[in-house]
Amino acid sequence: MLLTSFIDVLLGYLSSPLMLGLVVLGTVLGLVLGAIPGISSTMALAILMPVTFTMEPGVAMLFLISVFMSSVYGGSISAILMKLPGTPASIFTQIDGYPMAQQGRAGHALNFALVSSTIGGMIGLAMLVLLAPVLAEFATNFRSPEFAAVALFGIVMLSFSSNGSTLVASVVGFIGVILGMVGFDALTDAQRMTLNTPMLQSGLNLVPMIIGLFGLGEILQNLVGFAQTPKVRPQIGKVMLPLNELTSRWKVMLRGSVIGTFIGAIPAAGSAVAVSIAYAQERRLSKTPEKFGTGHADGIVAPEAANSASVGGSLIPLIALGVPGDTITAVLMGALMLHGLTPGPLLFANNPTFVAWIYVSVLLALIATLVVGLGMIRAAVLVTRIPPQLMYVFIAVFCVIGAFAIRNDMNDVYVMIAFGVVGFVFSRLSLPVTPMAFGLILGPILEENLRRSLMISRGSWSIFLERPISAVLILICVFLISIPLLKWSWVKLRAL
């Protein structure tokens, strides 16, 4: 039933030049908007929503989903070329993507990102089509205690997120958690660490902080000693990737995609959580963890597969339950409402064709992103040929624009500059900044859900062990923490 309507819709779209044209247009717009720092996928959709007012619902859906899918990859372009994440979903891509581009392999980095995005997206879509009811069931079991356990799991993983001392990484991560508390408390609206100033009341937004830490911090770092030893422009290098470089990473792609789909399916978790866990997971499993952060392909592949797969994942609660999986699907829901299709359990039960529209749209958008993306790589890598002194100016300008545009608030620009200095000082002191990003993303989620869980259980901590999913996650955390101890005891025992 669903399959036949899926094929019907697919053939219908493929035979219509108008539809194909719209997919390409949506993809190009999504790529460009996504690549501009500060314009997240959510905003790209909101900006382009009025364009669809006069379209038929199916057509509008196709256009908006094209924008959505391609903006996820678009965000990675600026992450790789300028160390500026265009969207929150691409904040981990830059960690290995930018060094790779600096080594003259910008084309390769973009290819890795694009191909793993496409494959991740396909796997996410396949899981959406085949497992939506099962995954929706799984997602509804995710309540506050499970959220808290996932966030805890991510924070434990952060100790695997950077080279060097675990203690240092944990301390930096903890600073990130504390910074995530600034502003209005999510549960009581009480002010914390705001010094009663309007500026800090808005809280420290993730994107300006990341832009400052990584983007501006990098420029400041490069300016040191720039006059004595001007930086050489990296070579463009080969743009096309040897196929075996990609196929040999199928495991990484698969793991990233599965993590992305599952986390995407949990309502309100979002792609930033998916990429942070996928990145840390890959680094932990890697045989060469020290290569991460120096331009290692696995460090691009895992988060890119995860962020695209989370798109399919985030559509699962929307289709199965009528609740948006994240803010991006919330905007999609808003767009549907404008077309008189209020999402909810009824819509999807009564309109199977509509579900087919969504599936076909995601598929076409993925293919269009791959094709358009491949075509754009050659042009995009030319960015690395811009003389460094000019490039730094561009990046600085984009840092300011990106920080401002996220909430239209000048305070976010000051926050960005302050964190640029922090990023600079950290790199001078050889301290890792990645764990701070983990703390910033996961800290607020952990705190909110931990407190709510304890409200539900009236203060009893056993709630975390009584529920199977959170119990398993907590056991894994305990195991991960005790690995060094276990290893040590093993060595001692063997010596006996």
Partner 1 sequence: MKKRNLFTSALCLATFAALPFQAAFADDAYPNKPIHVTVVWPAGGGHDLVGRLIGHELSTIMDTAVVVDNVTGAGGSTGIRHIAKADPDGYTIGVMGLHAVSQSFMNTSAPQLDGLDPLAYVSDEPGALQIAADTGIDTLEAYVAAMKEDPMGLMNGNDPQGGNSFVFAEVIPQALGTDMMRLPYPGHAPTVTALLTGEVQTATLPIPPILEHALAGTINVLGVASETRHPQLPDVPTFKEQGYDVVVNDFVMLVGPVGIPTDIRAKLEAGLLAAVNSEGFVAAAKKSGMVLRPLGATDAAAELAMQQELVYPLLENAGLVAPELKRD
Stretch near partner 1 under the rule CB under 8 A, chosen from 231-239, 305-313, 414-422, 448-456? 448-456
Question: Hey, what are 361's tokens?
Answer: 């749209």
Task: Please tell me whether residue 352 binds partner 1 under the rule CB under 8 A.
Answer: no
Task: Please tell me whether residue 244 binds partner 1 under the rule CB under 8 A.
Answer: no
Q: 63-92 mask for partner 1 (x: CB under 8 A)?
A: ------------------------------
Task: Please tell me whether residue 197 binds partner 1 under the rule CB under 8 A.
Answer: yes
Instruction: Give the CA distances from residue 137 to residues 63, 151, 261, in Å, rounded to whole numbers and listed in that order.
Output: 29, 20, 14
In 3D, which of 213, 176, 224 has the Cα closest to residue 402? 213
**Minimum distance from CB of 37 to partner 1 (Å)?**
17
In the window 155-184, what residues touch partner 1 (CB under 8 A)? 183-184
Task: Please tell me whether residue 281 binds partner 1 under the rule CB under 8 A.
Answer: no
8 A C-beta contact, residue 415 and residue 403: yes
In the window 1-60, what residues touch partner 1 (CB under 8 A)? 42-43, 45-46, 49-50, 53
Dist CA 432 CA 170 (whole Å)? 10
**Minimum distance from CB of 198 to partner 1 (Å)?**
5
Dist CA 407 CA 418 (whole Å)? 17
Q: What angle do CA 239, 375, 306 make, to 5 degrees?
A: 80
Task: Please tell me whether residue 196 binds partner 1 under the rule CB under 8 A.
Answer: yes
**Minimum distance from CB of 409 to partner 1 (Å)?**
6
**Minimum distance from CB of 398 to partner 1 (Å)?**
20
Dist CA 129 CA 2 (whole Å)? 9
Q: 247-276 mask for partner 1 (x: CB under 8 A)?
A: --------------------xx--------
Stretch near partner 1 under the rule CB under 8 A, chosen from 192-200, 372-380, 381-389, 476-484? 192-200
Dist CA 54 CA 200 (whole Å)? 41
Cβ proximity to partner 1: between 207 and 241 the closer is: 207
8 A C-beta contact, residue 212 and residue 418: yes
Cβ proximity to partner 1: between 9 and 405 the closer is: 405
Task: Please tell me whether residue 186 binds partner 1 under the rule CB under 8 A.
Answer: yes
**Minimum distance from CB of 269 to partner 1 (Å)?**
11
In the window 400-429, what residues touch partner 1 (CB under 8 A)? 407-409, 411
Counting DSSP H helices and E strands in the chain, the numbers are 23, 2
**Minimum distance from CB of 189 to partner 1 (Å)?**
4
Q: For residue 351, how far is the Cα from the chain centroid?
A: 31
8 A C-beta contact, residue 405 and residue 397: no
8 A C-beta contact, residue 362 and residue 315: yes
Count of CB atoms within 10 A of residue 124's CB? 31
Stretch near partner 1 under the rule CB under 8 A, chosen from 191-199, 216-224, 236-244, 298-306? 191-199
**Minimum distance from CB of 141 to partner 1 (Å)?**
8
In the window 98-157, what residues touch partner 1 (CB under 8 A)? 140-144
**Minimum distance from CB of 43 to partner 1 (Å)?**
6
Dist CA 281 CA 302 (whole Å)? 9
Q: Which residue has the tokens 């239209």?
A: 408
Stretch near partner 1 under the rule CB under 8 A, chosen from 94-102, 219-227, 249-257, 344-352? 344-352
Size of interface with partner 1, in residues (CB under 8 A): 59
Return the SS3 of 126: helix
Using CB under 8 A, pick the residue from 345, 375, 387, 468 that binds partner 1. Answer: 345
Q: Which residue has the tokens 């608030």?
A: 409
Contact partners, residue 123, CB within 8 Å, separation at least 6? 253, 254, 257, 258, 261, 305, 309, 312
Using CB under 8 A, pick the residue from 192, 233, 284, 452 that binds partner 1. Answer: 452
Note the helical H segments in 298-383. Answer: 298-320, 327-338, 345-350, 352-381
Dist CA 438 CA 158 (whole Å)? 6
**Minimum distance from CB of 347 to partner 1 (Å)?**
7
Question: Hey, what are 116's tokens?
Answer: 């793993």
In the window 295-324, what residues touch partner 1 (CB under 8 A)? 317, 321-324
Cβ proximity to partner 1: between 20 and 186 the closer is: 186
Return the SS3 of 192: strand
The single-letter DSSP state of residue 289 is G
Integer-rounded Cα radius of gyration of the chain: 22
Count of CB atoms within 10 A of residue 239's CB? 16
Task: Please tell me whether residue 343 binds partner 1 under the rule CB under 8 A.
Answer: yes
**Minimum distance from CB of 345 to partner 1 (Å)?**
4
**Interface residues toward partner 1, by CB under 8 A:** 42-43, 45-46, 49-50, 53, 140-144, 183-189, 191, 194, 196-198, 201-203, 205, 267-268, 317, 321-324, 327-328, 330-331, 333-334, 337-338, 340, 342-347, 349, 407-409, 411, 448, 452, 455-456
